[in-house]
Amino acid sequence: MNTNIKQAQELDQQDTLHHFRSEFYIPEKSIYLDGNSLGLLSKRAEKAIDAAVQSWKDYAIDGWTEGENPWYYLSENLGVMSAPLIGAEPDEIVVTGSTTTNLHQLTATFYKPEGKKTKILADELNFPSDIYALKSQLKLKGYNPDEHLIQVQSSDGHTLRTEDIVAKMSDEIALIVLPGVLYRSGQVLDMKTLTKEAHQRGILIGFDLCHSIGSIPHSLSEWDVDFAFWCTYKHLNAGPGSVAGLYVNRKHFGTEPGLAGWFSSAKEKQFDMDHTLTPAENAGAYQIGTPHLLSLAPLLGSLEMFEEAGMEEIRRKSLRLTGYLMELIENELGGYEFKIANPKDETTRGGHVLLEHKEAARICRALKADGVVPDFRKPDGIRLAPVALYNSFEDVWKSVQILKRIMDEEKFKKYENKRGVIA
């Protein structure tokens, strides 16, 4: 393989998405490969925030119904804009809450233990927050999580086999919650097959899309997925703590929200102030509280770019970036005991590469000191996420050269092999 920088530059010249890079604020003298933890600020998102503040200034309370983007309908309107990213009908999505709040809502709504069907199926590789929420919901229903939360085991510590998940779909399972993409290894689960298998056994199934939305295409409605939830600050670039989203398959419309609140109401009934809730007849029923307007606003700008770029093109470039990164690692870093721990197959590889090394924490510190922003995952993982909208092939090439120099010169030994407070 030709590892000359000219090859990377040629790939950038051929890239149909390359112009989006200029839309983002790229940290000065830095190569940012941590977009699967926090996406970069775009100029359009910044403009949308400014417009939201101006609307507050100009309209005061009338901003709820006046202006270019009336606040009262913004969560639903952003759901319409999000629909192409997950392959859903516009009224099946609402942008609301946080990831874990939405999981609590959806579990409270769809976990209905009855008879011997009392258990929830998850996995041992899921992000801790999801497991915390599921255990909490089991306790609220009077069940012992040690007995009623079943977690599929990984055969290799990195990935999950579809057949292993299906084997755990017993007649005791009432609900399944799984990630669309595993946060550590970046494995894409076969959501279509898993949904089909769950439904054949009379089990509802939902997915955490935090690492898949904006990274890979989905067809949730076509696959008949029951529900899903996600954050918007990773691949969707909506900013730290930005408002999350949820999806509910329209076949479940009319199911009473498990955690009802002010914004669960039908819009036309909300200000009747009745003490009997009339839920919205769409995904809006699963909102709880008043939308966080200034944290919703960045999505207006960000989702515009996704509409223009298209998820298929984003996915195509993402696979080329991660494929190029893996080729360079294998060619340039073969003698340094790195292990590529993410799936190499394009059908099961998400938007980042996972490198394992016994000195991972200190290597991450050295990379950051030399201008490459990675992500450390305990105990020995280095996640590198070249994001299609703002990373270039030259970014990837330079990052590998910097990593090679760090290993050649043993620069990582200046640092303690221990994570920081935030990793």
Q: What is the mean pLDDT of residues 221-237?
A: 98
Annotation-wise, does 345 bind a ligand? no
Annotation-wise, does 278 bind a ligand? no
- pLDDT bucket at 7, cuts 50 / 70 / 90: very high
Residue whose C-alpha is closest to residue 315's, from 247, 388, 421, 207:
388
Q: What is the pTM of this model?
A: 0.96
* Count of CA atoms in the C-beta half-sphere (13 A) of 268: 1
End-to-end CA distance of the chain: 33
Annotation-wise, does 16 bind a ligand? no
Cis peptide, bond prior to residue 379, ω within 30 of zero? yes
**What's the pLDDT score for residue 41?**
98
Q: What distance in Å separates the CA atoms of residue 300 and residue 82, rounded to the nearest whole number?
A: 10
Annotation-wise, does 185 bind a ligand? no
Annotation-wise, does 109 bind a ligand? no
Annotation-wise, does 84 bind a ligand? no
**What's the pLDDT score for residue 418?**
82
**What's the pLDDT score for residue 371?**
97
**What's the pLDDT score for residue 230?**
98
Residue 341 has pLDDT above 90, yes or no: yes
CA angle 214, 219, 220 (to 5 degrees): 95
Residue 422 has pLDDT above 80, yes or no: no
Q: What is the mean pLDDT of residues 119-140?
A: 98
Annotation-wise, does 379 bind a ligand? no
Q: Please write the tens of the pLDDT for every residue from 192-209.
A: 999 999 999 999 999 999
State whether the Cα torsion 54-307-351-331 is positive or negative.
Answer: negative
**What's the pLDDT score for residue 27?**
92
Q: What is the mean pLDDT of residues 81-102?
A: 98
Residue whose C-alpha is closest to residue 261's, from 101, 50, 56, 409:
101
**What's the pLDDT score for residue 417?**
84
Instruction: State the amino acid at position 315 in one-letter form.
Output: R
% of the chain exceeding 70 in pLDDT: 99
Annotation-wise, does 233 bind a ligand? yes
Residue 61 has pLDDT above 60, yes or no: yes
Cβ-in-10-Å burial (0-12, 13-18, 19+) of 274 comes to: exposed
pLDDT, mean over the chain: 97
Q: Which residues contact 17 (CB under 8 A, 6 or more apart)?
A: 309, 313, 314, 317, 388, 389
Beta strands in 162-213, from DSSP E residues, in sequence order: 173-179, 204-208
Annotation-wise, does 322 bind a ligand? no
Name the one residue in this structure whose structure tokens are 């394009």: 346
Tokens of 334: 């073969």
Residue 289 has pLDDT above 70, yes or no: yes
All structural domains of the chain, each given as residue ranges with its CATH number in brackets, are: 5-32+310-414 (3.90.1150.10), 47-308 (3.40.640.10)
Q: Which residues contact 141 (CB under 8 A, 6 or more apart)?
A: 111, 113
Residue 5 has pLDDT above 80, yes or no: yes
Annotation-wise, does 15 bind a ligand? no
Residues 131, 122: contact at Cβ < 8 Å? yes
**What's the pLDDT score for residue 1?**
46
Give start and end residues of each alpha helix (H) in 87-127.
99-110
Q: Which residues contact 129 (CB under 8 A, 6 or more apart)?
A: 99, 100, 103
- pLDDT bucket at 3, cuts 50 / 70 / 90: low
Find how far residue 354's CA is from the centre of its chain.
16
Annotation-wise, does 129 bind a ligand? yes
Q: What is the DSSP string of 234-251?
A: STT---TT---EEEE-GG
**What's the pLDDT score for residue 419?**
75
Residue whose C-alpha is closest to residue 37's, from 246, 229, 218, 184:
184
419 C-beta neighbours (distance < 10 Å), count: 16
